[in-house]
Amino acid sequence: MELRGKNHAAQSDHSGPGPEAPPLVFDLTVLAHGFEDVFDLGELALLSPAASRVHVAVDRVALYGMRVLFFFALSCLAAATFSSVVLYQKGERRRQELGGIADPRLLLPFDSEVVKPASSPPARVGEPTLDNLQRGDIVEDGPDDYVVVGTVRYREERDTWALHILDGGTTHRFLEVRRRGGALDVAFVERAQGLPTGQLFDGLTFAGQGFQLEGRGDARTTVDGDTAGLGTGVIAWARYGGAGGALLLVEDEGAARRAFVGARVPASSLSLMSGELNR
């Protein structure tokens, strides 16, 4: 800090006895080089009361500023602690809902819905429907009846569907159940003999039949029960429709490709019975 003073009394032409000389007036220039260089109360007190008041005012401002910074830092710390507690509680609740399994492969990056582990099919109340078929349920197709022995569940963001493996004793079939635009889409498919090769375009011919692309994407799969060799993973899928309700499903899992071919059937043509005793 630099102090410069002008003694107006010394510059006056007034001489001889008379009124008291005007007080010393200071022009203060603060050269800030850190807290150790700002205002020495003892020195300013000796120079003038006004200087002392200036020091006290500046000191109060500095103290107020430090208090504001302290409370701001304290608020940030409290907010960070609260956020950590909330995140921990959410994670713990998610872990408990997953039955204590904290495998990140079972968690999908979309909103807050819980992905159940493969060993825990969705809870069901009442009689079975095509939307909630479980292992052990019975599916009747005309004179033939099948037991659901396993299920592959697909999830892509908010879209979910299932491929059920049906055991008819001497035969096995695959029943795909999927909702498209709010409507239930049901199809019997089987492993395709041969595979579509090369790049999958919007239209292709397979086994002498033409198909048009209905949709494609990437989905995560989880399995429950006997799934005929189909496992948990991430697949790229493509779905093609053909004349007469024909359906072609193509799935790429890494370098491996598999395909299912079949036809859509009316949901009303199937009868379902609970298989509680079969589990």
- Tell me which of 51, 79, 107 is where a domain ends: 79
Indicate if 145 and 271 belong to the same structural domain: yes
Judged by phi (left if over 0) then psi (alpha if -120 to 50, else beta), residue 188 lies in beta
Long-range Cβ contacts of 169-173 (<8 Å, 24+ apart): 172/228, 173/146
* Residue 110 placed within a domain: no
Q: Tell me whether residue 106 is in a domain.
A: no
Residues 51 and 153 in one domain: no
Supply the pLDDT for residue 35.
42
In a domain, 128, yes or no: no
Number of domains in the chain: 2
Domain-embedded: residue 97 = no
Q: For residue 87, tell me if it sits in a domain.
A: no
pLDDT by residue for the chain (279 residues), tens only, comes to 444 444 444 444 444 555 555 444 444 444 444 444 444 544 444 445 555 555 556 567 677 777 777 777 778 777 777 766 666 666 666 555 444 444 444 444 444 444 444 445 556 777 889 999 999 999 999 999 999 999 999 999 889 999 999 999 888 999 999 988 788 999 999 999 888 877 788 899 998 899 999 999 999 999 999 888 888 899 999 999 999 999 999 999 988 999 999 999 999 999 999 986 655
For residues 140-162, one letter each, b for 16 or more C-beta atoms within 10 angstroms of the residue's C-beta and e for the rest, the string is: ebeeeebbbbbbbbbbbeeebbb
In a domain, 49, yes or no: yes
- Number of other CB atoms surrounding residue 89 within 10 Å: 10
What pLDDT sits at residue 58?
A: 55
On whether both 69 and 197 belong to a single domain, the answer is: no
User: Are 152 and 223 in a shared domain?
Assistant: yes
Enumerate residues 6+ apart whose C-beta is below 8 A from 114. Answer: 94, 97, 98
Residues 67 and 187 grouped into a single domain: no
Range(s) of the domain holding residue 265: 138-278
